Structure 1
Amino acid sequence: MKHITVLFALTLTAGSLAGCTTEVRSGTPAEGRPIASSSTSTAALPPEEALLAAVHATEATAYSFTIKQGSKSGSGRIDPAAKSAAASLGGTVEQVTVSVAYTVIAPELWVKADFGKELNKLWGMPGNTWMLIDRTKASSTATLPVDEAGAPQLGVTDLFKHGLAEVERTDATHFTGTVDMTAADSVLAPSADVVKQAGAKARAVPFTAVVDGRGHLTAFTVNGASIDPELALALAFADFGAVPPVTRPADAITAPAAVYKLFD
């Protein structure tokens, strides 16, 4: 059952793909970090700094995203200023199809999960039903996609902050380099089994990245399939500043006690 718990936690963290506690829409730097307003403003920066500036610019506005990682795929949207997010992730693990979705409108969190009829019954959990989570009942808050105040918790930038190397600019908006896929403990981190099998190769996987003319990261692709299918990652970001508002799920129920076992 551990793989189900891990995927559930990983999916929740995925919401942090774009979650952020910063209440900024206008382009004001978050936590004093530089934000690139155009490709010209980053042209003079070293490649790695330019790419990181694009990542931080992405953190400061609402946007939508898609993710494909190995056998998992998902999508969502984030509005940092409204402290809200909606995301879903699904895939097949050991021939078990799993899907998890979440909605955050701080300080409230809802989760919807489906592990198939048999596993849902085993967990004592309603399948494919929105459930309102009482965060105080989660024994491990580290698996929640929110911070202490209930705002969406960022996870994707851990990989960029600690894992990039050999970054080069191929033109004004395109970058290449390598990324250490073991550097982040977030939705983008491969499983321990994948890391063990890949060995040192997991620490320097080739990537490509694309930045738009406004200085936002629009695509990040890790080309690790030749090492292990689970080391293949494709992220895409769009709709900056123009995503529909996140709304409360209709017909949500109070989460049953069994659901909180997934946060152990």
Structure 2
Amino acid sequence: MTKRRLATTGVALVAVLGLGLTGCGDRPGTDAPAERAAAAGSTSPATTPRDELTAAIEKLNEQTLRVKLDSAMLTAYGVTDPRARTMQTTLTMAAFGEVRMLVIGTDTWVKFDGALGEQLGGSRKWLRMDTGDGVMPVDDPGGVKKLLAAVVDVRSSGDRAYAGTLDYTRSGANGKALMAAGDKAKALPFTATLDEQGRLRTFKLDMTPIDASLEQMSVTYSEFGTPVRLSPPAPGAVEEAPAEVAAAFSGTRI
């Protein structure tokens, strides 16, 4: 198993709770348009589509919720309590098999099945690691800021519905397909819907400008406010994660 595969898996598991992208990061030294709108909208009622979508996305950091992601390359589902910094996620990729992840504060447990599990030696135990602030940052546990940073423009498209473009190059992703897409990757079409309480309900991203085989990525948020009670795995079912795994999930390098 390569470090790149591990890193890709780690980022994908975390990202499903924010956007479902491969870690949408800010560009150093710049403020994203959506973040500037969020700052401006904090002292006045939301009056524009950008303000409304910004407020809806920000709510993802406020309550417990369930997330489901569907795409051509992977599917994932999980629950999270952003304020308690807890999360449980299961991700399935055809090439890798199933990966389960549990986060409680700064502790993370991961369990690999399928191809990744075999490459790790076939262990059926949970791998524990201290990921510190790398998985669910204190200031942005649900990845909300990352999503806002990637939104380029947005317009109203109906009742509690929006459409716009997203800059995928702000995601920290790389690869030949992304490089070949050039400027097309900076304006991927998306649609979003809100629920009656103004919370983000669905987010759909058209990935075909990067690669036709990627099709559409869809993320659904639901069951807001439902109690999320997570406990660590039993001690006998856990072993310490190899340094390579811990580095991939904490965002560090070894």
Q: Is TM more than 0.5 here?
A: yes
TM-score normalised over the length of structure 2: 0.75
1:257 equivalent to 2:254? Answer no
Aligned match of 1:64 = 66
Distance in 2 between the 1:120 and 1:222 partners? Answer: 30
Task: Say whether 1:207 aligns with 2:197.
Answer: no
The answer as to 2:38 corresponding to 1:51 is no
Q: Which amino acid aligns with 1:252?
A: A
Q: Which of the residues 129, 133, 150 maps onto 1:133? A: 129
Aligned partner (choices 138, 148, 151) of residue 163 of structure 1: 151
1:184 aligns with 2:171: yes
Is 1:113 matched up with 2:101?
Answer: no
Q: Which residue identity does 2:9 align to in structure 1?
A: F
Residue number in structure 1 paired with 2:224? 240
SS in 1 for 2:159: coil
Change in 2 beyond 3 A, CA 1:72/1:230: same
Q: TM-score, normalised by structure 1?
A: 0.73
> Structure 1 residues 114 and 163 mapped into 2: Cα distance closer, same or farther (>3 Å)?
same
> What value does the CA root-mean-square deviation take over the aligned residues?
3.2
1:126 Cα deviation from its structure 2 partner: 1.2
Tell me which residue corresponds to 1:123.
120
Unpaired runs of 5+ residues, structure 1, are 19-29, 136-140
Q: What is the aligned-residue identity percentage?
A: 24
Q: Is the 8 A contact 1:125 1:256 kept in 2?
A: no
Pair 121,61 (structure 1): closer, same or farther in 2 beyond 3 Å: closer
Q: 1:33 to 1:243 in 2, by over 3 A?
A: farther
Contact in 1 for aligned 2:82/2:141 (Cα 8 Å): no
The C-alpha deviation readout for 1:30-54, integer Å capped at 9, x for no partner, is 9998499xxxx64xx1111110110
Q: What is the number of residues matched between the two proteins?
A: 228
| Structure 2 residue aligned with 1:220 | 203
Deviation at 1:261, TM superposition (A): 6.7
Residue 109 of structure 1: CA displacement? 1.7
Aligned ranges 1:25-104 → 2 under 5 Å:
34=42, 42=46, 45-92=47-94, 96-104=95-103
Rounded Cα–Cα distance in structure 1 between residues aligned with 2:105 and 2:206: 35
Corresponding residue number in structure 2 for 1:174: 161
